[in-house]
Every structure is written in structure tokens, then in C-alpha cells.
Structure 1
Amino acid sequence: MVDRLLKATCQTVHLGGFSAQLVPALTIDSGDRIEVETFTGFTVCDRAPAAFAPPELLEIRHNLPADRRVGQGPHLLTGPIFVRDAKPGDVLEVRLEAIWPRLSMGFNVIRPGWGALPDRFSAPALRFIELDLDANVAEFPRQSGILIPLQPFFGILGVATQEVGNSSVPPGNYGGNIDNRHLQPGARLFLPVQVPGALFSIGDGHAAQGDGEVDVTAIETAMNGRVVLVLRKDLSLTRPLAETPTHFIFMGFAETLDRALQAALEQAIAFLEQYLSLDAEEAYVFCSLAVNFHITQVVNAPRKGVHGLLSKSLLPGAIAL
């Protein structure tokens, strides 16, 4: 294992999507540990207080090269990271060792036409929210006494696809804008590799978010993290799968919540068949009895997300992925 540092600069970030055409920001071997910097708020930092927009972010905002603008999404991502010997059909294991905000401020924005209630909340609204990093809370509304615990995570963890200019907004089988708040330190995310080298990118730091992310954003903020990327040639997946210290997480993404739920449920059934030797009907019944399905997000058009949580405490023994 080699320890690497990947800072966020004009040469190591990209805007708007994923692309196999991007020059890698870093090349690593399987098992290397990377301390990574990320920024967010590319489109709002010119209107932000100084606490949110340090000189490094403003440098990126004004001088990002044209070839690092690859899609129509608003997200600024650090990467891509090229993993030697990664090939389509492999699985990239992302071990999340540590995640921490790098600034004491985040933002939330309502975008016209987006969100769960676009007709009712049709006017744009941008708010900057202070983060108390010592107490690990954010007060919202300001001076209300309502304290929201901070639970930092990366909204976007994904690999490149063959699609040119793949937008950063919708999640998919490559991962991407998953927005799953359970991907905290100690979790592992398993992503199907789509292109040689995997080309993994990370960003969209969230200091706190509720399931659904209903107004289209969380408390979005610059985030640092420490991850280990492990190439898994012994696994075969068609969509992302995650594991936390307490749960396995099954994910489904689709244009409707019904179809997203069906996709997450199918993944759960396949997992139970493979690792617990249940037949399909037994697995289906078990999911009805013991797997908790939640709305991950409803705002990353055109795909919504559903995830199912299987508690490890229900299992007769450890499952090693």
C-alpha cells in the first residue's frame, strides 16, 4: 500500500460529468490509500461569503481548462483516478476510511424546475449555512435553536463510462450521484468497472442530508477524505453494492421510484440467493420481513434512487465480500 495525496486544482478536478477521455489526475495501484481534497459550489462561489470560497476554489472557478468541463451537471469532482490493471467486468472496492469538512460553511440551493415539489417552490433560493465543526452541528434556521447533526459523506463516488459527456446529475450502474447518507467512514462501496483503469472520481460533499434530498441539495460543502481503492477480480456486479459495519446496502436507480425499488429488491434477492443459499421465493419473503427499503433521493433527474438495508445482526454468520 502506498499513501497518496490528491489536491483539488485546475489540473485534478473536472466539472459536470464523467468521461473516459479525461486525462487521469492520478495513477495508482490496487490497494493504494489516497487522501483527497474536494470542492463544491462551482456555480455559486462567486456569490458566496469568503468562508465558503477560499482562493483555491476561486482559482478553479475562473481558470478551469475547457477540457476539464465534460458534462452538463453542476458538480465539481476530483479525479479521475486511474487504477492499474482495472478492466471492464472487474469491481472497484472503495473503502471509506475518513471523511471531514474542510470549511466551516456549506450551501443549500433550490433550483427552479427541480426538487420534489417544483410547482410549489418554483423560485430560486440560495442559502449559506454555517457549520459548527467543534460541536459537529449546523443550526438551521439561523437563531432557531434547531441543531442538525453533521454526518459528512460524499454524494458522488463513481467510475467513468463509455458514454461521452455523461452528466454528473443522475446516478447509475457506475455509481455517480448516489447521495446515500449511509456511506460514512467505515463503509465499503463496490462499483462495476466500465472502462480500462476504472477512472474513479469523487466529490459533492454533504455535511448533512435527509433521505430523499427533497429540495435538490443537502448542506453542500468542500470535503476531504481518505479512501483506499482495491481492484476486485473475484467479484461480479452489474450495479453498485455497499457494506457498512452494521448493514449491507442494496441500490436501485430508475426513472420512477417503483422501478428503483424493484431494482434494489432484485439485487437484495440475488445477494441472499448467493450468500445465504436461499431460493428466490424464500429471499423475496425474507426481504418483506426484514429488509428496510428507503428513498435515497428523488431529485437527480432522470433517475431516482432507493436503497435496502439488511442488518448484519440477522445473519447466522459473517459474509465476506
Structure 2
Amino acid sequence: MSCKIRSKSIHIYRHQQHLKWSRHIPPVQTISSGDVIHFDTIDGSNGQITKASSKSALEAFDISRADPAFGPVFVTGAEPGDVLQVEILELETADWGWTAIVPGFGLLPDEFPEPVLKIWSLDAAQPYVTFKEGIRIPKRPFLGVMGVAPGSGGDFSMIPPLNTGGNLDCRYLTVGSKLYLPVQAPGALFSCGDGHAAQGDGEVCGTAIETSLKAKLRLTILKNQSWVTAAQFETPPRTADLQAVDDAWLPDKGEYAAMGIDADLHEAARKATRNLIEWLVRARALNREEAYMLASVAGSLKIVEIVDMPNFVVAMSLPLNIFV
């Protein structure tokens, strides 16, 4: 899904960005409920990684500049206790993206201490991107960051998600989905960013296929919804045309999953990820760094069992149809 962005009536530009969540950041636009806005965002590196970058860019990477949000947008009439409905109407990726293993970041930082950078080509004419020969990843673009200002004073980091949204990294917020955010500050002060071309559940190596995105969103106030205290979302049924595109090159072949079992949920997820990496190395002839990145952009962490104490069971699964 790449889509052309047409109307330019309300536009947020790349220079209109911020690196903290705060109710005190002045809005760059004021809109009415129901207005459609066009966002031109840069990737989560904030320009620190380019199409020509090598892994040396990761060694100089400044995490304090990462995951910029574009906005904020003041929605007239939005008050604490309301909900801001965000409809994702169109998304258009750049023609390239990147995935990286960043030292000290991700689910297995102690096992992958060296920087690795992969630059992807994103062909708008193809519904997939090529990981390496024989492995194709379906494009499912989405904004990793969508949120409104927290109600309390002070500044909040862009990296951890909040009840008011932010760095949710939810791969289901694609075109046609709706995100519901609890309004805590007057005007809501909505911002978005952190474009992804594809990602698995969990984003285990810490990066997806990171890319710049142009987004067309509709923002609508839903009054008196104080029972919504954290982000919620709704996804549409898959349309016949999208299903036909997928079926043409991506027939369902099932999944392969590796489990991790531990009394600590985080450690169970680490074990499941580690075990899938081992399968990819042994059965699919990838090196460990490739396997880790592939798990991040196409794998899905799932809680299989959470009630049979003291141990949790987590599965890391991978769709077999990515292997062409």
C-alpha cells in the first residue's frame, strides 16, 4: 500500500517537530473536529541515517534525536474526558528504508553487541520488499508514533509509550484503522511520526523497516468518553482487492513458531526470540544478525499461556509464506 496524497489544505511539515511530549508545546496548527490533515514525516532516526549510510552512522547515533513527532495540532473543542478519534486515510512511504541492530537496544542487546545496518529498497509498484534472495516481506505501512499531550505538567520522553499514545509501534494501525486516544489536555495536541513500512509484533531488535511517511489523517472529537483511559484501536475488514493482491503472490503457508518458557514474562519472550533465531540459522541458513532483524520486521511475539503459574509461555512465530 502506497497511496498518493492529494489535498494540501492542512499540512504539517518536517520542520514542525518536537522530541518530547508536553502540554506546553505550542501548536503548529489549529483545526476543527473532523478536519483532514496531511503530515510529511521523516523516519525515526530524524535524518541521522540516509540511503547511503553505513554502520558507522549507528556508532554516532544520538538517541535523544530519535522518534520525532510532527505537530502538535490543536483540535478546537477537545477537552479532558473526551476521546480523539484518529482515522488513518492514506499512507505513502519513501522509496527506501532501514533496519538496524543498535548496540544496547532491543530484546537481546547482550547477545547482539555489534552494530548492523540494512538499507531496503521500497518499490511503490511492489506489494513486498526483499529481505534477501528468497525472502519477501509484505508492505504494511503504519505510523509508529501517534499520541496526544499528557495531562500532567513536565516533559515526557518520546521512547516509551504512554496512556495517551506516543511510541505505540502497533503494526495494526494501517490504512482504514481508527485509533482512539484519551484527551488529557485542552485541544488534545495531537502529533505523529516514526513511519514503518513493515514490522512484526514486538519489534524485537528495536527497529522495523524504518522509513519516512506521508500520512493523511482525519481527527474527530468524541465527547464525554472519560471511561477511555488508554489508547484503543479498531481495524477494518480486509477488502477483496487487498486480499486479491496478497493471494497473487503471498498464499498462506502457515507459520513456524518457537516457544520460550519462564517465570518472568520478559525472559520468556527473550527465550522464544532466541529459539526462533536458532531455527532460522539452522534451517534457513541465515546468520544470527539477519535472523534477529527478520524476527523484528516479520515475526510476532504471542503470549500463549499466562495462567499456569509460575511459568509463562511465549511464542515467536514467523509466516512461512515469506520464504519464496
| TM-score normalized by the length of structure 1 | 0.65
- What is the alpha-carbon distance in structure 1 between the residues aligned to residue 48 and residue 167 of structure 2? 24
Change over 3 Å in CA distance of 1:135–1:78 after alignment to 2 = same
Q: Equivalent residue for 1:48?
A: 50
Report the CA distance between 1:153 and its aligned residue: 0.4
- What is the alpha-carbon distance in structure 2 between the residues aligned to residue 135 and residue 242 of structure 1? 28
Match for residue 22 of structure 1 among 22, 25, 28? 25
Report the CA distance between 1:114 and its aligned residue: 1.4
State the Cα deviation string for residues 52-80 of structure 1 (Å, max 9, x = none): xxxxxxxxxxxxxxxxxxx9461122100
Whether the 8 Å CA contact 2:71–2:192 is kept in 1: the answer is yes
Whether the 8 Å CA contact 2:17–2:69 is kept in 1: the answer is yes
Q: Equivalent residue for 1:68?
A: none
State the Cα deviation string for residues 156-175 of structure 1 (Å, max 9, x = none): 10001134221111112101
Change over 3 Å in CA distance of 1:41–1:92 after alignment to 2 = closer
Change over 3 Å in CA distance of 1:39–1:191 after alignment to 2 = same
Match for residue 77 of structure 1 among 69, 80, 84? 69
Q: Equivalent residue for 1:211?
A: 201
Matched, 1:192 2:182: yes
Change over 3 Å in CA distance of 1:94–1:47 after alignment to 2 = closer
Change over 3 Å in CA distance of 1:5–1:139 after alignment to 2 = same
Q: Equivalent residue for 2:253?
A: none
Whether the 8 Å CA contact 1:91–1:232 is kept in 2: the answer is yes
Whether the 8 Å CA contact 2:14–2:42 is kept in 1: the answer is no
- What is the alpha-carbon distance in structure 2 between the residues aligned to residue 112 and residue 46 of structure 1? 16
Whether the 8 Å CA contact 2:81–2:224 is kept in 1: the answer is no
Q: Equivalent residue for 1:147?
A: 136
SS at match of 1:80: strand
Q: Equivalent residue for 2:236?
A: 245
Q: Equivalent residue for 1:312?
A: none
Report the CA distance between 1:182 and its aligned residue: 0.8
- What is the alpha-carbon distance in structure 1 between the residues aligned to residue 90 and residue 9 of structure 2? 14
Match for residue 83 of structure 2 among 91, 97, 101? 91
Q: Equivalent residue for 2:118?
A: 127
Match for residue 164 of structure 1 among 154, 173, 178? 154
AA of the residue aligned to 1:127: K
Matched, 1:5 2:37: no
| TM-score normalized by the length of structure 2 | 0.65
Aligned CA RMSD, in angstroms, stands at: 2.5
- What is the alpha-carbon distance in structure 1 between the residues aligned to residue 123 and residue 154 of structure 2? 40
SS at match of 1:208: coil
SS at match of 1:4: coil
Runs of 4 or more, structure 1, over 4 Å off, are: none
Report the CA distance between 1:246 and its aligned residue: 3.8
Report the CA distance between 1:217 and its aligned residue: 0.6
Report the CA distance between 1:125 and its aligned residue: 2.1
State the Cα deviation string for residues 234-292 of structure 1 (Å, max 9, x = none): 42311111111249xxxxxxxx858xxxxxxxxxxxxxxxxxxxxxxxxxxxxxxxxxx
The runs of 5 or more residues in structure 1 that have no matched partner are 52-70, 248-255, 259-292, 296-305, 307-321
Report the CA distance between 1:111 and its aligned residue: 1.8
- What is the alpha-carbon distance in structure 1 between the residues aligned to residue 91 and residue 302 of structure 2? 23
Report the CA distance between 1:112 and its aligned residue: 1.6
Q: Equivalent residue for 2:35?
A: 32
Which structure 2 residues correspond to residues 270-289 of structure 1 after superposition, within 5 A?
none
Q: Equivalent residue for 1:290?
A: none
- Size of the alignment, in residue pairs? 228
SS at match of 2:180: strand
Whether the 8 Å CA contact 1:29–1:84 is kept in 2: the answer is yes
The runs of 5 or more residues in structure 2 that have no matched partner are 1-6, 54-62, 239-263, 267-300, 304-313, 315-324
Q: Equivalent residue for 2:255?
A: none
AA of the residue aligned to 1:35: H
State the Cα deviation string for residues 163-190 of structure 1 (Å, max 9, x = none): 4221111112101111111111111111
Change over 3 Å in CA distance of 1:177–1:41 after alignment to 2 = closer
